[in-house]
Amino acid sequence: MNPKIKWLRNQLDALKLEGMLVTNPVNVRYLTGLDAEGFLILAPKATMFVTDSRYIEAVNSTLTIDDEIIAYDRRELTKYDYEGFFMTCENIGFEENYVTYADYHKYLQKYQVSLVETEGLIEKQRILKEDDEIDLIRKACLITTKSFDYVINNIEYGMTEKDIAFMIEKEFVKNGADGLAFDSIVASGKNSSMPHAVPTDRIIEPGDIIQFDIGAKYKGYCSDFSRVVFVEELNPSLKDAYLFVKEQQKLLAENLKDGANIKEVIKERDLDFEKEKYDIYHAFGHGVGLEIHEDPVLRDNVDTILKEKTVIAIEPGVYDPGRFGIRIEDTFLVGKNGSEPLTNYSKDFKIIHLK
């Protein structure tokens, strides 16, 4: 049997659940490796993937006999099939954080069984990455930094933020990525002060800073990476802010390690921000995996002990609205003695030259 399905079935046994509906597509992909629309029915005697005719050919060519997953075109299934899947069951798990209020009521009718909340069972398991998942994230990170290095050395006079965002995506794909893990941020000059800036038609000028926040996706897995570069010259008024952010990220990475409580690590950094009179505009980071934002969030109210093999993006940033923003971010693998960067790229002041 597919080992992840086997793990899930053991968990369900322990929770006295006789089956589960897995409808969150990210969890379906995590459990099965399938990249197709559909959902999983874990019934007592069989695991079924219900998809539609658009995907059935692709799904059947991906699943192996060892998976012990039967694929169905949803048109083959009748009302009575659905009622029959859990006929012998009393309680079935469902994903209350994904299923809508309306669908919950539909499922009750359709499956004629009690649905029990599973409290992010699969999401929690996804926090701890397996070795093959870490390899895929590492590859996504490598594609990201390699592409970034190419892009910042090939920006031409007259290029806009949008042009650069395009060049990034093209490099990602050229270097083997599925595509973007999220919409790239390329924010120049005062646009950098918006943490979620969208690339504009603003032309890059000497004297600008450019804030990048980018990440490639590889075989479904994400990477997350931010750097600021200085165009043609270092802006001396931003030096202190830059060094502050760099130092904060270093301290976060040192302290976010196996056994650390997230809120305690973050609270120490909050104090530094307060001391320097910088407002905190967003969390200091988040888990990364099949989704760009996963658990755990790195906030001062998250009372969670970090464990080895968690992958997190650490991204402190300071902002002066309407003037500038500086954020440095890497994707890290949490280890015994601190977090190891998977996006390996210099954080020294970087001056780029337009071509």
Contact residues for a second copy, defined by CB under 8 A? 35-37, 52-55, 57-58, 94, 96-102, 104, 117, 162, 166, 169-170, 173, 179, 183, 193-196, 198, 279, 281-282, 321-322
Tracing tokens 């196996």 back to the chain, one arrives at: 258
Classify the C-alpha dihedral 176-182-183-189 as positive or negative.
negative
CB of 166: closest distance to a second copy in angstroms?
Answer: 6
CB of 183: closest distance to a second copy in angstroms?
Answer: 8
CB of 200: closest distance to a second copy in angstroms?
Answer: 12
- Residue 235 CA to residue 207 CA, distance in Å, equals 7
Taking alpha carbons only, the member of 126, 129, 175 closest to residue 149 is 175
Give the phi and the psi of residue 348 in degrees, each rounded to 5. Answer: -65, 160
Q: For a second copy, give the closer residue by CB, 10 or 97.
A: 97
Classify the C-alpha dihedral 64-67-68-74 as positive or negative.
negative
Q: For a second copy, give the closer residue by CB, 298 or 342.
A: 298
Pairing of strands 20-22, 39-42: antiparallel
Q: For a second copy, give the closer residue by CB, 28 or 334.
A: 28
- CA 174, distance to chain mean position in Å, is 21
Instruction: Please say whether the beta carbons of 51 and 59 come within 8 A.
Output: yes
Q: For a second copy, give the closer residue by CB, 90 or 117.
A: 117
CB of 168: closest distance to a second copy in angstroms?
Answer: 12
Q: For a second copy, give the closer residue by CB, 236 or 322.
A: 322
Taking alpha carbons only, the member of 128, 125, 111 closest to residue 10 is 125
Give the count of alpha carbons within 13 A of 294, CB side only: 27
CB of 117: closest distance to a second copy in angstroms?
Answer: 7
Q: For a second copy, give the closer residue by CB, 81 or 117.
A: 117
17: left (phi over 0), alpha (psi -120 to 50) or beta: beta
CB of 194: closest distance to a second copy in angstroms?
Answer: 6
